[in-house]
Structures are given as structure tokens and as C-alpha cells.
Amino acid sequence: MRTAFFPIARCMTLTVSEGRLLPKPSAFEPTRPNFQDLLPLYYAVAIMVRFQLLDTTVMAVKRIAIVTGAAQGIGRAIALRLARDGLNVAISDLSSKRSALEALSEDIRASGGQTMTVEADVSEEKDVNDLVTTVADKLGGLDVMVANAGIALLKPIVEMSMTDFDKIQSVNTRGLFMCYKAAAKTMIEQKRGGRIIGASSLAGKKGLPGACAYSASKFAVRGLTQSAACELGPYGITVNAYAPGAIDTPLARQYVADPVILQQFIAQSALGRIGQPDDIANIVSFLASKDSDFMTGQTVTFDGGLWFD
Ligand SMILES: NC(=O)c1ccc[n+]([C@@H]2O[C@H](COP(=O)([O-])OP(=O)(O)OC[C@H]3O[C@@H](n4cnc5c(N)ncnc54)[C@H](O)[C@@H]3O)[C@@H](O)[C@H]2O)c1
């Protein structure tokens, strides 16, 4: 609609500035519409713009998003929220999560949203590249990448094996990096800007006991987010990350299942509660929207007031 609008606007400009009733014939061959013929269309577009039935900004068409780690927890809530926001959402997770992905897909469709599922392991470069190209080919591009998939393993530093350390980095750091890279390449080629959003953590702001490998991976997300924001800004692509505190998901239940630890989180939080996946989905909805246009390179903490910048 946007490309349709501007030739009409240019035609009107020509009409006024050059004092002609018709633009140069060569520009409009072979149809040669006259001004009277175009008036109804001009008024229709003007009314649609006035009453916001037609968005003439870059975000005019139905936008397309990918959410990794979408089968459960925070990723699931983000996928549902972006679908509710009107985006066409490709949901992705490990093949072992196929049935949970299918259930999510049904939930999105039942509420009137559009979706597709793609199984991908974000620690495998081929999977990530295939995920992005498949979605871009089938849905018509990529506007929002939410690199949400992540794993946690809590162990003291002296007990953390190199295999465990590398596994965490392969998903949380390398996996997120590959999602950022593949999305950036597609968005640059498309020339219509974009939003890249990654999952950091409160543990990416402050080292926590037992979380050395996890903290290292989530601090890395902040560095990747800042560098990518600098490089991609000129293309109209913003890059931001969310840093949740304790959110009630299968990942967090590994440690908040312990009532003592849960009570510690609650006692230390200004709002006196742990978060729900929808608390993070609300923020990602904003980061994915046009309203966050002037925000990039940030890793924003959402923890109910556990830790202050
Ligand atoms: N829940 C919290 O308290 C919390 C706090 C801070 C940060 N985070 C971060 O938020 C993100 C989502 O966390 P969550 O709590 O929803 O976790 P979760 O364990 O409930 O869900 C994570 C999803 O990621 C998927 N996943 C794991 N490895 C993958 C891989 N290699 N490829 C593709 N998918 C993979 C899992 O299958 C799962 O569906 C993670 O990056 C996590 O580190 C969570």
C-alpha cells in the first residue's frame, strides 16, 4: 500500500507545482488516467490514512517474526503475544519439543493468529540458517528475530566441567550469535529495517553464585547486542535484549522449586513476587514494535526490582 500511495502523492504534487491537470504522458503510459478519474482513489487513501486504516510507515505490511525456544516458558508467551499483536510468528524449538510446538501453533491459530513451526537446534549453524531462510521464503521476509532459546546449569566453578561450560555457551552465546547474524543478513538484504531481540538475564548484569557459566553466557549477550546495534543501526535495524530476573518457567523451577530460594527471591524483590512469562512477553512486544524505534543496544532488566542499574 505504501508504494501505491507515493506515486499518487507524486502525481498530485506534479499537478500542483507544474500547474497541469495531467502528469507528463510518458510517465503514465499506457493508461493515461486523468485527474478526475484519480480523485475517488485519492480521497479513499486520504480517509484511510486519516483514520489509521492504512499505515504508511515502514511497518505497514503484516510483519514476520521468529521466536526460538518457543515451545515453553518465556518463548511461548512471547510467541502468543506477538501473534496477538498481529505479527505472523514462526515458532521454533528442538525436534524433541514437536508436540509442544504443535499445541502452541493450534493455540495461535485458535485465537486468529498466523504461524508456522520450524524445528531447529540453535547451537547448529545450518539449522539456524535454514530456519531464517525457510521463514523468509515461506512467509515473505523477516522483521523480528527473538533469540530466546537458552539453557541453564547451576554448579559451583570448581565442579563445572568443560563439557558443561561449552554446552551452555553453545546455546546461549553461539546460538544467539548465529540467530543475530542470520537475521541481520536477511534484514539487510530486504532493506526494510528490523528488530533483533535477545535473551540475556539478571545473571548477565550481576554474577550469581553457582551460575558462572550461565552468567558468562548472559554477559556475552550484552556485548553482542551492543556491537550488533552499532553495526546494524545504519540499516534501520535495532538490537536489544531483555534481562529477566526469576520468571516462573521450567528453566527457573530448577532453583525456585526450593522454597528457601524462592522466598529469598521474593524477599529481595521490591514488588514482592517472581515474574510470569507474560511479564517478559509484554516487554518484547514493545521492543518489537514501532514505539521502540529510538532504542538500540540496550539490555533491559525486568525483575520486579531485584537489582537496580
Ligand atoms: N526463567 C527465568 O527465570 C529466566 C531468567 C533470566 C533469563 N532467562 C532466559 O530466558 C530464555 C527463556 O527461558 P525460559 O525460562 O523460558 O526457559 P525454558 O527452559 O522454560 O524454555 C527454553 C526453551 O528453549 C529451548 N531450547 C533449549 N536449547 C535449545 C536449542 N539448542 N535450540 C533450540 N531451542 C532450545 C527449550 O527446548 C525450551 O523450550 C532463556 O534464554 C533463559 O536463559 C530466563
Q: Are 30 and 102 within one domain?
A: no
Residue 55 forms part of a structural domain: no
| Cβ burial, residue 270 (10 Å; 0-12/13-18/19+) | exposed
Grid cell in block for residue 221 = 549477550
Q: Are 108 and 134 within one domain?
A: yes
User: What CA–CA distance (Å, rounded) separates 72 from 85?
Assistant: 19
Q: Is the pTM of this model over 0.95?
A: no
Residues recognised as catalytic: 214, 218
Residue 45 Cβ inside 6 Å of ligand 1? The answer reads: no
Atom of ligand 1 at shortest range from CA of 245:
5
Q: Compute how many other C-beta atoms are within 10 angstroms of the C-beta atom of residue 301.
A: 21
Q: Describe the strand order of the beta sheet including 299-302 as a list of residue ranges.
A: 114-119, 88-93, 64-68, 144-147, 194-199, 237-244, 299-302
Q: What separation in Å is there between the alpha carbon of 308 and the centre of ligand 1? A: 23
Q: What separation in Å is there between the alpha carbon of 7 and the centre of ligand 1? A: 46
Residue 213 Cβ inside 6 Å of ligand 1? The answer reads: no
Atom of ligand 1 at shortest range from CA of 199:
41
Residue 121 Cβ inside 6 Å of ligand 1? The answer reads: yes
Are residues 293 and 238 in contact, defined by beta-carbon separation less than 8 angstroms? yes
Report the chain (309 residues): mean pLDDT per 10 consecutive residues: 36 33 35 60 57 45 95 98 98 98 98 97 98 98 98 96 98 98 98 98 94 97 98 98 96 84 91 97 98 98 93
CATH at residue 249:
3.40.50.720
Residue 152 forms part of a structural domain: yes
| Cβ burial, residue 300 (10 Å; 0-12/13-18/19+) | middle
Give me the domain span that covers residue 260.
64-302
Residue 149 Cβ inside 6 Å of ligand 1? The answer reads: yes
Tell me how many domains the chain contains. Answer: 2
